[in-house]
Copies of this chain bind each other. A is one copy, B any other.
Amino acid sequence: MELSLIVAASALLYRYGNVVDKIREDGFQIDAQVYSIIEGDNPTTMAKSTGLGVIELSTLMENLQPDVVLTVADRFETMSTAIAASYMNIPLAHTQGGEVTGSIDESVRHAITKLSHLHLVTNDQSQQRVLQMGEDPDSVFITGCPSIDAIASTDMKMPVDFFENYGGTGPGLDPSRPYLVVLQHPVTTEFGQGLEQINETLSAVHTLDIQAVWLWPNIDAGSDDISKGLRMFRTRNPDAPIHFFRNFGVEDYARLIKNSACLLGNSSSGIREGAFLGVPVVNIGSRQKGRERAHNVIDVGYDRAGIEQAVRKQIAHGHYQTDMLYGDGRAGPRIAEILANAKISIQKSFFTR
């Protein structure tokens, strides 16, 4: 099999860490790069970026003529990819189908399942939901999630100069002492409440007074509100022991959370990669609602006292055992095997159960 690679959306943007450079450094050749984000970080521009993505990806697929298109999870560029491929009669393979969460991602993930020809799911429960939605049983494969592969093969030792490569802003961090990691994204379906929500988390972390690594939120609608909250906090509390970073490489991110005292926020990584790595996680709010959890997660609301208390509990507990709920680290070869051999019918049919 031959890989064609289109890099688009936030992967090209400075404020999301120029992921495209990391892809090149990893030795991949890029067939095309496409600026497809319409600026504004709100629900309207999220929709428009989806539309622009469809237009551009259609032209590129027309010229690349792929045999199959592989797309990941539930972001708006995933939706763009799914629409382009399925209207163009190109078989569509999809990872992470059947998972449940909150946010618009929930609806989008299932809609993509209904457009996909191959479902490469993470576990039993996801498989059950994909089947319930009427998909062909012969098209659903439990492979685990490839994001676990990346971390399963990574040496988890944290170098002393870890943070020096990443710049960021804020006071120095000592990786040999306990630290928190915070990553809290906007919840699109709660657009307008982001500032209030982030302020609860900021207050809790400030009170805990443990050194913290804080990552900027993703590009979804509401991102601006959260960023504003972070900037205001920084201005008011220049001496708080919080260091802000844009982005880490996949392996370094795994090292970072693996070695942390606690990961808090609403990133899926706490629940998914965190299960495998045994990271103590405090999950805040509705964004991961319904997603299957291992034992490493405590759920709390947007509430500073609740957040603080849960973090203290997780620090007291320390690390958890590995749980393979989201994969065992061997998803990649399974997926390659399936893509190479699957018999795909372009015309989908509804399977009544």
Question: A residues bordering B, Cβ < 8 Å?
Answer: 12-14, 31-40, 42-48, 50-56, 58-63, 76, 79-80, 83-84, 86-89, 100, 102-104, 106-108, 110-115, 128-129, 132-134, 169, 188-191, 221, 224, 228, 235, 286, 289-290, 346-350, 352-353
Q: How many copies does the complex hold?
A: 4
Chain B residues in 8 Å Cβ range of A190: 347
Of A34, A88, A190, A191, chain B has the most CB atoms within 10 Å of the CB of: A88
Q: Can you list 15 contacts pairing A with B, beta carbon distance less than 8 Å?
A: A14-B228, A35-B39, A35-B44, A35-B45, A35-B48, A38-B52, A43-B88, A44-B88, A51-B51, A51-B53, A51-B83, A86-B108, A87-B104, A87-B188, A290-B350
* Known contacts A54-B51, A188-B87; is-contact A107 B102 (Cβ 8 Å): no
Tell whether, in the assembled complex, residue A58 and residue B83 are in contact, meaning their CB atoms are under 8 Å apart. Answer: no
Extra 8 A-B pairs, beta carbons < 8 Å, given A35-B39, A44-B58, A132-B134: A35-B42, A44-B59, A47-B58, A51-B53, A52-B52, A56-B56, A89-B188, A107-B114
Tell whether, in the assembled complex, residue B107 and residue A86 are in contact, meaning their CB atoms are under 8 Å apart. Answer: yes
- In chain B, what residue has the closest Cβ to A89? B43
Of the candidates B38, B128, B347, B353, the one whose C-beta lies within 8 Å of that of A36 is B38
A29–chain B nearest beta-carbon distance, Å:
12
A211–chain B nearest beta-carbon distance, Å:
19
Tell whether, in the assembled complex, residue B56 and residue A59 are in contact, meaning their CB atoms are under 8 Å apart. Answer: yes
* Interface SS of A by simple majority: helix
How far is A133 from B130 in the complex, measured between Cα atoms in Å?
9
Tell whether, in the assembled complex, residue B348 and residue A87 are in contact, meaning their CB atoms are under 8 Å apart. Answer: no
Tell whether, in the assembled complex, residue A115 and residue B106 are in contact, meaning their CB atoms are under 8 Å apart. Answer: no
A258–chain B nearest beta-carbon distance, Å:
29
How far is A56 from B84 in the complex, measured between Cα atoms in Å?
15
Chain B residues in 8 Å Cβ range of A87: 43-44, 46-47, 50, 76, 104, 188, 221
- In chain B, what residue has the closest Cβ to A234? B169
Chain B residues in 8 Å Cβ range of A112: 111
Of A33, A115, A190, chain B has the most CB atoms within 10 Å of the CB of: A115
A146–chain B nearest beta-carbon distance, Å:
23
* Known contacts A62-B33, A133-B133, A350-B106; is-contact A47 B111 (Cβ 8 Å): no
How far is A115 from B43 in the complex, measured between Cα atoms in Å?
15
Tell whether, in the assembled complex, residue A107 and residue B348 are in contact, meaning their CB atoms are under 8 Å apart. Answer: yes
How far is A38 from B9 in the complex, measured between Cα atoms in Å?
10
Of the candidates B39, B106, B111, B128, the one whose C-beta lies within 8 Å of that of A111 is B111
Tell whether, in the assembled complex, residue A349 and residue B100 are in contact, meaning their CB atoms are under 8 Å apart. Answer: yes
* Known contacts A38-B37, A47-B54, A111-B115; is-contact A132 B353 (Cβ 8 Å): yes
